[in-house]
Chains A and B, each alone.
Chain A
Amino acid sequence: MNKSKLAVILVIGTEAVFFTLLILAFLYFRSVAKGNTPEGLLDVVKTGIFSLFLFSSSFTVWRAEKNAEHQKIKRSAFWLFITMLFGVIFLTGQGIEWNFLIRHGQTISRDLFGTTFFTLTGFHGFHVLAGLLILGILFILSLTGNFNHKNTVNSVGAVALYWHFVDIVWVVIFSIVYLGVKL
C-alpha cells in the first residue's frame, strides 16, 4: 500500500469515530424525545433522490481511479468532473432542504432534533465540500498534465477512498435520520 492510501485509511479511522459520536448523540436524544419528534418535516423521497447522486458518485470516482491506473489521464479527469458534479448536486439538495426546514421554523436552536440534525448533516456536508475541493485540485492538475503517472494513480486512489467513506457515512446517516432505523 502506498503512503497516501495508508494516510487516508488512518484519516477514515479517526473520522469514523467522530461521526459515530455525532450519530450516537442523535440517536440518544431521539430516544429520549420518545416519538414527539418533528421529523415529519423531512422529505424522504426528495432527499433520497439527491442522495442517489452521492451514492452513484462512488461509482464515477472509481472510474476515475481505474482510468488513472491505465494511464488515461484525460478520461480520468472526465470522471473526476462527473464526480464533482454529482457532489455539487447533492450539496445543492442539502441546501434546499436546510432552507425549507429553516423557513418552517425548524432551526438548530429550536429543539434537540434541530441541534443534532443540523450538526450531523452539517458536518457531513462539510466533509463533502472538503472532498470537492480536493477533487477540484486533482481535476485541474490532471488537465494541466502536471502529474507523473505514479503520483496520479496514488492521489486519485487515495482521494477516491476518502470519497467512498463520505458516501458510506451518508448511507448510515440517511438510514438513521430519514428512514428511522434504530440501533
Chain B
Amino acid sequence: MSNSVPTVRNIDTISMPGEYKGLLSWVTSVDHKQIGIMYLLITLFFFLVGGVEALFIRIQLARPENTFLSPDAYNQIFTMHGTTMIFLVVMPMLIGFANYFVPLMIGARDMAFPRLNALGLWLLFFGGLILYYSFIAGGAPAAGWFSYAPLSEKVYSTTTGMDYWALGLLGIGVGTVASAINLVVTIIKYRTKGMSLKRLPLFVWMVLVNGFVILFAMPPLNAALVMLLVDRLLNASFFTVTTGGSPILWQHYFWAFGHPEVYIMILPAWGIISEVIPVFSRKPIFGYEFVAGSSVAIGLLSFAVYAHHMFTVGLGHPFNTAFAFASMTIAVPTGIKVFNWIATMWGGRIRFTTSMMYAASFLILFTIGGLSGISFAVVPVDWQVTDTYYVVAHFHYVLFGGTLFAIFAGIYYWFPKMTGRLLSEKLGKLHFWLTFIGFNMTFFIQHILGLIGMPRRVYTYPNLPGWGSMNMISTIGAFILAISVLVFLWNLIVSFRSGKPAGDNPWEAWTLEWATSSPPPPHNFEKIPLVRSRRPLWDLKHPEDPDWKHES
C-alpha cells in the first residue's frame, strides 16, 4: 500500500490474497478480517461434518427396525451432531461474522485485543479437534448434547469419549468468553466519532447484548464441565448418587448455561435480519429503539427461564409456575421484533435477492419455532411432549429455520464485501428453494411424529401406523437439504473464482462496512465518513435530505 497515487480498490485491481499471502500469513494472523474468515471456514467445515452425521441419523430412521447403525453408534452420532452444530457451527459462525463486521460497522481499525482474538479462534479450532479425537480414542461421547449425569459419569460412559467432550467444550467455552470480552470492549471503546449507542447498527447492538449474555452464561457450563471432569478423572462425587452427589445439580448448571445459549445462538442472527430487511426493503428499520431495547430485555430474561427444561424433574409447583411465567414473558420482546421486521417491509420497495428471501422466510420459520417454543412453557404440555420429536422439530425450526436461515441471508449479503465478488443469484435462488423445501419437509412432519408419541434419541422404532412413512418423508427432506448444501458450496467456489465484481456497495446499503473497498484493505478505511445518523452512507449520497435532519 505504498502507492501514493490513489487507485480505486476493487477485486480487479487487487489480487485478493495478495495482501494475505500464504498459509503462514493466515495461521499467524491477528487481523480481524482474516480471523473472521477463518472462523467462517472452520465452522463451514464442521457444518459439513455435522450435516453428514444428520444424514446418518436420517438413514437409520428412514424405515422401521432399520439396522444401518448399531444402537451405540447411533448414540454417538446424534450426540456429536448436536454438539457439533451448537458449539462448532452456529455459535462460532455468528462470532465469525461479528469478528469481521463489528470493527467495520463501527469504523474501527481492528478489534480491541487482536491477539486475544486469535486465541479465541484457535481455542475453537483445537477444542473441535479434541472433541473429534474421541472417535479415534475409543468411541465418541454418547450421552446426548446435554450429557445428563449420571449417564455421563464413568460408571455408565466407560470410554474416554465423555472426557474429550468435556475438555473440548471447555476449550471452546474459554475461547468464546475471550471473544465476548473482546467484542464488548471493542464496541464500547472503539466506535468512530459520532457513532453513539443510538446510532449503532443493530447487528452491533445484538453482538453487544450477546457479549454480555456469553459472559454470564458460559461460566455455568465451564463450572459444570470442570466438575464432571473432576468426577471422571479424580473419582470425585459431584454428580454420582451412590456417594451422595446430585445429578440434578448438573441439570441446573447445564441449563443455566443451556437456555441463555439459545439466545446466544439467535441474538446475532436477529442482528443480521435487522440489517438485511431494511436494506432490501429500501426503508430504515421500523422502531430501532424497540429492536435494540427488546434485545436487552431478552438478554436479561434469558437467565430466568432455564428450568423449563426441567419441568419433568419434579421441582415442585411454585418452581414450575415461576419458570413457566418467565418463559411466556420472554415471548413478548421476541414478538415485538417480529412485528418490527414486518413493519419495516410494509410498504417498502422490496428487492427479493437471495439474501432477502432467506430473511423473509426466516420470519415465517422462526415464528413457527417460537410458537412451538411457547407451548413448552405450559407445564402440562411440556410433560406430554418432552423428549419427543416435537421438541426436535421445535428447536430445528428456531436453530435451522431461524439462525441458519439468517446466517445464509448474512452470507449472501456480506460475501461481496469479504471477497469482492457477488454470489451467483441464479445458484442462490436454487439453493434457497432446495433449502426451504428440504427443511420444511424434514422437520415439519416431526411435530406430528412427536405428538403421536415418537420419542427422540431412539435408534429405531416399531412399525406403527404412519411412523414409517412420515419418517421416510423426513429422510427424503434431509437429502434435499444435502443437495442444497452442495449447490451452496458450488456457488461459493464458482463465485469466489469468477463471480461478478461487487464494487464497494452493491446493495446500496447504509452502514459503514460498505464505505470501504471490497474486500477492505488491511487498515479497513482510507477515510471514515462522518457519522451523524444511523445511516451514514445515506447521508453521504443524499446531502439534500440527510437522515440527521430527521433524527433529533
Contact = CB atoms under 8 A, between A and B. Distances in A.
Contacts of B218: 14
A123 to B, nearest CB: 7
A119 B244 contact: no
Contact of A119 (B181, B182, B227, B253): B227
Contacts of B113: 3, 7
B184 interface: yes
Contacts of B185: 3, 6-7, 10
A18 B216 CA distance: 9
A115 B246 CA distance: 12
Interface in A77-114: 108-109, 111-112, 114
Contact of B216 (A3, A14, A29, A116): A14
Nearest to B249: A25
Contacts of A3: 112-113, 185, 189
B27 to A, nearest CB: 24
A108 B235 CA distance: 8
Interface in A24-47: 25, 28-29, 32-33
Nearest to A11: B181
B235 A109 contact: yes
A112 B227 contact: no
A111 B219 CA distance: 25
Contacts of A112: 237-238, 243-245
B129 interface: no
A109 B189 contact: no
A162 B243 CA distance: 36
B188 interface: yes
A97 B345 CA distance: 67
Interface in B181-204: 181-182, 184-185, 188-189
B220 interface: yes
A43 to B, nearest CB: 23
Given A17-B216, A123-B226, A109 B249 contact: no
Contacts of B224: 21
A145 B189 CA distance: 28
Interface string B225-260: 011001100111110000111100100010000000
Interface in A120-144: 123
Contact of B220 (A10, A17, A118): A17
Interface string B392-421: 000000000000000000000000000000
Given A108-B235, A111-B243, A115-B237, A10 B184 contact: yes
Given A10-B181, A10-B185, A112-B244, A21 B234 contact: no
A22 B223 contact: yes
Contacts, number: 82
A7 B184 CA distance: 8
Nearest to B215: A14
B237 A109 contact: yes
A15 interface: yes
Interface string B467-481: 000000000000000
B147 interface: no
A165 B57 CA distance: 47
Given A3-B112, A112-B245, A21 B223 contact: yes
A14 B177 contact: yes
A77 B363 CA distance: 58
B319 to A, nearest CB: 16
Nearest to B188: A6
B223 A109 contact: no
A25 B227 contact: yes
A13 interface: yes
Interface string B138-155: 000000000000000000
Interface string A46-73: 0000000000000000000000000000
Nearest to B181: A10
A116 B245 CA distance: 10
Interface of B: 112-113, 177, 180-182, 184-185, 188-189, 215-216, 218-220, 222-224, 226-227, 230-231, 234-238, 243-246, 249, 253
13 contacts: A3-B113, A3-B185, A6-B189, A7-B112, A13-B216, A14-B218, A33-B244, A109-B234, A111-B237, A112-B243, A116-B238, A119-B226, A119-B236
